[in-house]
Amino acid sequence: MQKKLVKGLGTYRLLSLICFCLILLAWCFASYSGSVSDIFLPTPTSVVAKIASMARDGTLWANCRESISRVMIGWLWSVAAAVPMGMLMANSRKFSAFVQPIIEFARYLPVVALVPLTLLYLGIGENQKYTIIFLGTFFQLVLMVCDTVSGVDRNMINAARTLGASRAQVYRAVILPASLPGLMDDLRLTVGWAWTYLVVAEMVAASNGLGYMILKSQRYLATDTIFAGLILIGLIGLITDWLFRLLTRLVAPWYERLADGK
């Protein structure tokens, strides 16, 4: 079984590398051959040079730091509110009936359309940017957490109650351990969504950040800077995803054993 898993993982990584190389080759061909103007598609060399230039003058690290801070704070606000609410919805029909309709309604509202209201209510400070990221992730995360916790085997919960466990003990000893791997996946997905709302959060009244850098470069047709910003956001997102996968293995090692059939 373990040999099959190792072989499957090796094949997965090889195919991922091949896909990346094909995209890079297509980019190189289209840009270096002159098939596409550099106004619309800069060369990989110019994008790497732009990243190196920003790293030397310090703007790269400053923008990355500001964007990471905004994404993580807004997302942590969402986690702090959504996880307990989603768990309560999964275990209380009355509470679910009370809040789920408004959550279902709100999750379809485009976050971009809420920018004018957040500016009106919160001004142009950092709280407005945190709120945009919060709104972009909170409603989906609540429903994902509710769905994950609802999937816990009811026989386990009933058995704990039969043995005299209190509601708090049921949550702590049964529901949380059983749903933790799924919750970690929910958090991993939503932190990725938080990054997609970064440009929206920084599109108004921002003076730094990767999203601001991209929007500012659009005005001057600086496509090399735009590509640099997009690549940096993607790389930070990949690193975040990898860290969450690693954290899942650390906090829920039993999930890996169950997946391996052990």
Rounded-to-integer distance, Cα 54 and Cα 224, Å: 12
Rounded-to-integer distance, Cα 98 and Cα 80, Å: 20
Rounded-to-integer distance, Cα 60 and Cα 94, Å: 49
- Mean pLDDT score of the chain: 85
Taking CA atoms, 89 is separated from 92, 116, 199, in Å, by 5, 31, 32
9 touches 245 (CB < 8 A):
no
Given a cut of 80, whether residue 118 has pLDDT beyond it is: yes
Tokens of 180: 């933790």
The predicted model scores a pTM of 0.84
The torsion angles phi and psi of 172, rounded to 5 degrees, stand at -75, -40
Given a cut of 90, whether residue 262 has pLDDT beyond it is: no
3-class DSSP state of 189: helix
pLDDT digits (tens, 9 = 90+) for 119-133: 888 888 889 999 999
**pLDDT at position 49:** 92
CB atoms within 10 A of CB 125: 9
